[in-house]
Chains A and B, each alone.
Chain A
Amino acid sequence: MSNYAKPEALVSTDWVEAHAGDPSVRVVEIDVNTAAYDEGHIPGAIAWAWNSQLCDTVRRDILSPSAFEQLMMDSGIGNNTTVVLYGDNNNWFAAWAFWQMKIYGHKDVRLMNGGRKKWIAEARDLSSVTPKTTKTQYKAAQADLSLRAFLPQAQEASARSTAALVDVRSPQEFSGEILSPPGLPETCQRGGHIPTARNIPWGMACNDDGTFKSYDDLKRLYGSEGIDGSKPVVAYCRIGERSSHTWFVLKYLLGFQDVTNYDGSWTEWGNLVGAPVERGGTPAAKAA
């Protein structure tokens, strides 16, 4: 992991196993399928549910500062705790949690490279015991909105090329052939993508074992689509979680300075009255 721009943001499965009893480390599992944790998890790990604990459940938004602080305190996490996040789907929602923790200024948060899949494939211990946590005190920093893009920024990026737009959905979603991944609810009115966006599906950043590709492979992958860090990047997907994975790759593994996650994503843009929409693929989308 040493070639990455910020290798300290990743830990290996070996590292997690070795720190199982370390009181300064809190391991948290976040899955797409929130039932996966109950089936068996890393001993000592707690779980967060992406659809109830990592978002505002009334209005569409990330956690408020006070809700974030409450989650940290309830999870036994202090401002100086090392937090290791992992989950299914190659850390899909673990990256979503990572992004929010960085927005609220948590200093030491890391992803376990390979996620739940690698841990299980390596036949490491699974536990069915939910550990008890001791409530802590936690103070969130003022939200760092330099990590987050809202609709006006996405519109400006598209209309004036102020930033490169990276659509990390599947080629079929990008082209407009389907409105959502097969089997998931269709929550937008139109299919297609934001004009000028390049399609680099999030999963292309991962190896078969769920780990991230090497720095050189990632640089080549994004560079071939003109995403080289020379201008700001806005990543988006359907609801902002796949794009937080790509946001992590671009900011922490490749070290690009100005990368934002547009979490409104296609379920915002694809429902806007009058918004410009492009349909059809790009060379990258067709090759994926």
Chain B
Amino acid sequence: MKPEAYSERKIELNGWQIRLTSYKLGEQFHCTADNVSPGAWLARARGANRREAEQQALDKARKLLARAHRQAS
């Protein structure tokens, strides 16, 4: 199988920058959310279309990011 329709975009989620990478493989879209800096993987999801895959990845990422906090300076 060849991946198709590769796409990357950055958004802000809970005050953190997030990168969404998605592409179509077979009949499904795959999406990965990472935290841009340093680029560590946060969540992975599949969906029937890009929007659905991205939304599921974002939902998972949101839960993880809710636990991240900034230290008092």
Residues of A within 8 A of B (CB): 31-33, 35-36, 39-40, 88-90, 92, 117, 120-121, 123-128, 169-173, 176-184, 191, 201-203, 242, 279, 288
Contact B44 A181 (CB under 8 A): no
Contact A92 B39 (CB under 8 A): yes
Please tell me which one of the listed residues A127, A176, A179, A182 contacts residue B16 in the complex, with CB atoms under 8 A apart.
A182
A185 to B35, CA, bound (A): 13
Contact A242 B38 (CB under 8 A): yes
With contacts A33-B44, A117-B21, A183-B64 taken as known, whether A126 is within 8 angstroms of B37 at the C-beta atoms is: no
Please tell me which one of the listed residues B23, B34, B40, B64 contacts residue A120 in the complex, with CB atoms under 8 A apart.
B23
Contact A178 B70 (CB under 8 A): yes
A32 to B40, CA, bound (A): 7
Q: Which of B2, B30, B38, B73 has the most CB of A within 10 A?
A: B38
A182 to B73, CA, bound (A): 17
A242's closest neighbor in chain B, by CB? B38
Contacts of A39 in B (CB 8 A): 25, 30, 44
Contacts of B38 in A (CB 8 A): 169-170, 173, 181, 201-203, 242
A172 to B68, CA, bound (A): 12
Contacts of B21 in A (CB 8 A): 117
Contact B71 A191 (CB under 8 A): yes
A171's closest neighbor in chain B, by CB? B37
Interface residues in B, total, Cβ within 8 A: 29
Contact A89 B41 (CB under 8 A): yes
Residues of B within 8 A of A (CB): 1-4, 6, 16, 21, 23, 25, 30, 32, 34-35, 37-42, 44, 61, 64-65, 67-71, 73
With contacts A177-B73, A178-B68, A183-B68 taken as known, whether A40 is within 8 angstroms of B39 at the C-beta atoms is: no
A interface secondary structure, majority:
loop
With contacts A123-B6, A125-B1, A177-B71 taken as known, whether A183 is within 8 angstroms of B37 at the C-beta atoms is: no
A-B residue pairs in contact (CB < 8 Å), sample of 7: A90-B39, A128-B1, A170-B37, A178-B68, A183-B64, A183-B67, A242-B38
Contact B3 A120 (CB under 8 A): yes
A126 to B67, CA, bound (A): 34
Contact B34 A89 (CB under 8 A): yes
A117 to B42, CA, bound (A): 16
Contact B3 A176 (CB under 8 A): no
Contact B6 A179 (CB under 8 A): no
A124 to B4, CA, bound (A): 9
